[in-house]
Structure 1
Amino acid sequence: MIPTVVWGTGNIGRLAIRAVEAHPALELVAVLVHSPGKAGRDAGELARLGRPLGVRATDDIGAVLAARPRAVVYAASGDARPDAALADITRAIRAGAVVVSPALYPLYDHRNAPPEFRNPVLAAVADGGGSLFASGVDPGWANDILPLLVSGVATTVDAVRCQEIFDYSTYDRPDAVRDLVGMGRPLDHEPMMLIPSVPTMVWGGQIRMMARALGAGLDEIRETLERRALDTTVTTRAMGVFEAGTQGAVRFEVQGIVEGEPRIVIEHVTRVHASCAPEWPSPPDGGDGVHRIVIEGRPRIEVTVAATDEGENRSVGGNATAVGRLVGAVDWLAAAEPGLYDALDVPLRPATGRLGRKQP
């Protein structure tokens, strides 16, 4: 069993606790929290499992890392605190842990990452012998390994498109939906996620990875952006009221340009209510959302993935699959050489030993 720590207990952390608990090769030995109000609470309660796990959360980072855990699932946010997240992650690597995390966008494609992100991780690997695998919660596998896998059964490939189509009214994270993406804000407000170049910072690494795997030379990466206002005031299940006239839908693309054309595209279509921008792509069944891969070529191939968790909530389901990808890589990383890995390095493997196991 691989002694594993989950660091953070928000939307990603609670899913990570469940995933570690369910994995036959991993043992949950500690849960790290930032909030004093969570310290001392059982991990099962924080993960909403409905049963105790016998592991109490702590905010004592030093004591947890001094115990030399073999693995850390770093689930704390890095959106607004990338420097702090980098410091936490390198600290865990120096303690000898293999770390998996969605927190550092620049390291999704570490070969092209800025030196200020890549070099501290490589130094920590050299000092402590740990490793890092970073992959997204959008989810990362839907923007790298899945489209590449599907492209392999095509005869010819003209373009690859990865779509996230979501209604965020059920996504209980107002800091991301209202502040980062700008839902419910005036259309003249420029939220952080929609500032020019930020989408490329977040998803450009996945564009570059796909281009590398496909043997395609990228001319450049471009962005497109459209925003729509709500026609009427709406009340959402998870985040309350969004006023008429404020931003209710966003559609943007991060485009990998090959020979002058957008050939590798990551597209996001997000809403807080289905009535906003009805002419844009919507989930085929009117549900919370889907991820879709479209391979334009011969034959044309379309794959739609709908994941649910916590009842029928697909906004959580997508996060759960991203967490499953990260946690499922821990035992592979523990057996591999210390290093900095990306999605093309780390294989996606069957759920060995998990078939028929009781749900956590």
Structure 2
Amino acid sequence: MISTVVWGTGNVGRAAIRAVEAHPALSLDAVIVHHPEKVGRDAGELAGLGRALGVAATDDIAGVLAAGPRAVVYAATGDVRPDGALDDIARAVRVGAVVVTPALYPLYDQRNAPPEFRDPVLAAVADGGGSLFVSGVDPGWGNDVLPLLISGLGSTVDAIRCQEIFDYSTYDQPDSVRDLVGMGRPMDYEPPMLLPSVPTMVWGGQVRLMARALGVELDEIRETLDRRPLETTVTTRTMGAFEAGTQGAVRFEVQGIVEGEPRIVIEHVTRIHPSCAPDWPVPPDGAGAHRVVIEGRPRIEVTVEATDEDENRSAGGNATAVGRLVGAIDWLVAAEPGLYDALDVPLRPAVGRLGRKQP
């Protein structure tokens, strides 16, 4: 069994605990938390499993890493603390652990990542013999392996569009939804996640990754942005009220330009309520979905819906992103130490998990 640590117990960390517990090759040996109220609580309780796992959460990072875990699922946020996340991850790699995480956007396309992100990881790999694989929580597979797989089914491909379409009224992450993305904020508020160049910083690596796989050269990466206000005040189950006149929907694109045309596009259509921007793309059930559209001959469209945590589509996206990361651990353990991306790490069948009871 591969000794595995889950670091962080938010939306991603909860799903990670469940995924590690369900994986036949992994053993959940420690859970790292930051909030004092979580210290000492059982991992099964924190993950919403309804049963104890016999693993008490701890904030003793040094002690956990000193035990020499073989793998770490780093589920702490890197949105507002990328330097801190990088330091944590390098620390785990340096003790020889395989680390999987969605936290470091620049390393989605690790070959073209800025030196300030790439070099510390490579130094940690050289020092300790660990590895790192970064894949997005939006989820990464929807912006790399899925569209690339489907593109191979066409005779000709004119453009690839990857869409995340979600109503975030059930998403329990107010800091990200209100502060980073700006839902419920005045329309003159400038959300940090939507500032010029920030979407490219986050999703540009996936555009470059797909271009590399497809063997095309990008002229540049462009961004588009549209925001809509709420016409009426709405109240959400998890995050309270969002007032009329404040931002209620966001639509943006990160476009990979090839020979002057947008050929590889990552698009997000995000609402806080279905009533806002009804003319924009909507998911089949009104809650949330990920969609890949291959424009060409034939035209191919694939929509993926996933649910988790009481039929929550947002949680389902987190869970599938985590499944991609956790499912890569045993492959990474068997591979040479290094820095990996989605083109390096295969998406494999769920060996040993078919028919197992839900954790």
Q: TM-score, normalised by structure 2?
A: 1.00
Task: Provide the residue aligned with 1:281 in structure 2.
Answer: 281
- Deviation string 1:223-260 (CA, Å, 9 cap, x unpaired) is 00000000000001111100000000000000000000
Task: Give matches, 1:75-224, under 5 Å.
Answer: 75-224=75-224
TM-superposed CA distance for 1:70, in Å, is 0.2
1:36, 1:231 → 2: CA distance? Answer: 40
Offset, 1:37 = 1.0
Report deviation, 1:311: 1.8
Corresponding residue number in structure 1 for 2:44: 44
The CA RMSD over aligned residues, in Å, is 0.5
Q: Which residue of 2 aligns with 1:331?
A: 330
Q: Distance in 2 between matches of 1:274 and 1:237?
A: 14
CA deviation after TM superposition for structure 1 residue 285, in Å: 2.5
Cα offsets for 1:256-304 (capped at 9, x unmatched): 0000000000000000000001110011222x10000000000000000
* Shift >3 Å, 4+ stretches: none
Counterpart of 2:211 in structure 1: which amino acid?
Answer: A
Amino acid in the other structure paired with 1:180: L
Name the CA distance, whole Å, in 2 between partners of 1:154 and 1:21: 38
Partners of 1:285 and 1:15 in 2: CA distance: 23
For the residues of structure 1 that align with 2:187 and 2:254, how far apart are their CA atoms? 21
Q: Measure how far apart 1:310 and its partner are.
A: 1.1
Give the whole-Å Cα distance in 1 for the aligned partners of 2:233 and 2:46: 33
Alpha-carbon deviations, 1:110-142, whole Å to 9, x = none?
A: 111110000000000000000000000000000
Per-residue deviation, residues 172-202 of structure 1 (Å, max 9, x unmatched): 0001100110000011110110000000000
Match in the other structure for 2:289: 290
Alignment of 1:312 onto 2:305: no
Within 5 Å, give how 1:226-265 maps onto structure 2: 226-265=226-265
**TM-score, normalising length: structure 1:** 0.99
What letter matches 1:157 in structure 2?
A: V
CA displacement, residues 69-117 of structure 1 (integer Å, 9 cap, x when unaligned): 0000000000000000000000000010000000000001011111000
Find the counterpart in structure 2 of residue 54 from structure 1. Answer: 54
Structure 1 unaligned regions, length at least 5: none
Deviation at 1:49, TM superposition (A): 0.4
Q: Kindly indicate whether residue 9 of structure 2 is the aligned counterpart of residue 9 of structure 1.
A: yes
Q: Distance in 1 between matches of 2:339 and 2:318?
A: 23
SS at match of 1:204: helix
Structure 1 distance, partners of 2:277, 2:198, is 23
State the identity %. 83
The gaps in structure 2 that reach 5 residues or longer are none
C-alpha displacement at 1:36, in angstroms? 1.2
- Secondary structure of 1:106's aligned partner: helix
SS at match of 1:178: helix
